[in-house]
Chains A and B, each alone.
Chain A
Amino acid sequence: MPVITVNTNKVVQDMDNLGSPLDYFRLMKPRVMSLVVFTAFVGFYTATPVQGYNIHPFLACVGIFAIALGAGASGVLNQWYDRDIDKVMVRTKDRPIPLGKVLPSEAFSFGIISSILSIMILGLAVNWLAAGLLAFTIFFYAVVYTIWLKRNTVQNIVIGGAAGAFPPVIGQICATGNIALESVILFMIIFLWTPPHFWALAIIRKDDYAAAQIPMLPIVSGDKVTRKNILIYTFLLVPFSYMPWVLNYAGTFYLIIISLFGLEFLRKAILLYRQKEGSEKSLFLYSILYLSFIFAGICIDKFILNNY
């Protein structure tokens, strides 16, 4: 009589995976995705129209969705590679992979499939230049930043910050079919904004980063050097934020917004340099507000210029 045997290995392996669809969504770093959608939209909305190139509103929405998916995919690949250090850090220990809700192999497959899908969708729905830049951005974040820079150089977030700065450029390419100076300015604003934002966080979470052996500036060079560098980058960022107004891409409304928020950012950076208690957290939170408001400011300004 034939004997039927059941291989239980696969079942046992599958049983380790208790993740729900929500865990996969959390793997995509929804907060980062929302920032990417916002900045990509600003790049799209503020782009100067090019004669002979127009895009159907539905396809524009699909384009923004594809950019969000690409950002999520790179977040998944980041968490897949960083699963060893995420387990050690207090800030990241509750992510789906360290909690054992999603298997690393599943996260990797999910990240790769989502990356390919996002590039395909953007290329087919909008244009292949935007899709190409999205592919480069995913590669830059997942490979250049996560695998190469993050654990090897103190300049990790300075160079890696470029990955977060590409979305407005992609958004602008979606709208016009080519790269224009205005989106490069938006790129530079995010690029210069990234170091003060992350170094303030690194001072707050210094022990966390030290435990994970990530060479963040406060660990390698100390708090004093970090505070000085935050001040330098803030002094570069705030004047540069006037560029959209200087080059006539934005009007008076933007000028008022940037003047108010820029001065406050400088004040907070000076307080942080002088080591005022609680200034790190204050600057970190304010930096998020700053970026949100100046990008919203550019949008509102464009709306005013277009309609009044």
Chain B
Amino acid sequence: MKPSKNDDYIKTFYANRKSKNIAVLLIIISLVTLFFFITILRMDITG
């Protein structure tokens, strides 16, 4: 059976939603890493 236009729409929707979720995950990981390094670098470890 030939896929309808609606099927393509749903496919695009799910593909975009997946890429958005991955982007959000990457942003969260980057922010955690970033705040970790900011903390380390701003800490006065020399006493």
Note all chain A residues with C-beta closer than 8 A to B13.
14-15, 18
User: DSSP class of B's interface residues: helix, strand, loop or mixed?
Assistant: helix
Q: Is the CB of B16 within 8 A of A125?
A: no
Determine whether the beta carbon of B38 is less than 8 Å from that of A59: yes
Which single member of A20, A21, A59, A117 contacts B42 (CB below 8 Å)? A59
Interface pair A125/B38, CB less than 8 Å apart:
yes
Contact of A62 among B12, B19, B34 (CB under 8 A): B34
Q: Which residues of A contact B12 (CB under 8 A)?
A: 18
Contact residues on B (Cβ < 8 Å of other chain), bracket: 10 to 19
Q: Are B16 and A58 in contact (CB under 8 A)?
A: no
Q: Are A18 and B41 in contact (CB under 8 A)?
A: no
> What 0/1 readout, one digit per residue, does chain B (18-47) give for beta carbons within 8 Å of chain A?
011001000000010011011001100000
Q: List CB contacts (< 8 Å) of A18-34 with chain B.
A: 18-21, 24
Does A246 count as interface, using CB distance less than 8 angstroms? no
Closest to A121 in B: B34
Contact with B20, one of A15, A19, A58 (Cβ below 8 angstroms)? A19
Q: Total interface residues on A, using CB and 8 Å?
A: 15
Please, how many angstroms separate the alpha-carbon atoms of A15 and B37 in the complex? 39
Contacting pair B19 A20 (CB below 8 A):
yes
Q: How far is the CA of A108 from the CA of B18 in the complex (A)?
A: 21
Q: Are A21 and B38 in contact (CB under 8 A)?
A: no
Contacts of A62 in B (CB 8 A): 34, 37-38
Answer yes or no: A304 CB below 8 A from chain B CBs.
no
CA distance A59 to B9 in the complex (A): 43
Q: Which residues of B contact A21 (CB under 8 A)?
A: 19-20, 23
Which residues does chain B contribute within 8 Å of A10, judged by CB atoms? none
Cβ of B17: which chain A residues have Cβ within 8 Å of it? 14
Is B38 a contact of A18 with CB atoms below 8 Å? Answer: no
Nearest Cβ distance between residue B13 and chain A, in whole angstroms?
6
**Interface flags, A142-154, vs B, CB<8A=1, else 0:** 0000000000000
Q: CB distance A20 to B38 under 8 Å? A: no
Question: What 5 A-B pairs are tightest by C-beta distance, nearest first?
Answer: A21-B23, A125-B38, A20-B16, A56-B41, A124-B38
| Contact surface of A with B, Cβ cutoff 8 Å | 14-15, 18-21, 24, 56, 58-59, 62, 117, 121, 124-125
What is B's interface to A at a CB cutoff of 8 Å?
Answer: 9-10, 12-13, 16-17, 19-20, 23, 31, 34-35, 37-38, 41-42
The 17 sampled A-B contact pairs (Cβ below 8 Å) are A14-B13, A15-B9, A18-B9, A18-B12, A19-B20, A20-B19, A21-B19, A21-B20, A24-B23, A59-B38, A59-B42, A62-B34, A62-B37, A117-B31, A121-B34, A124-B42, A125-B38
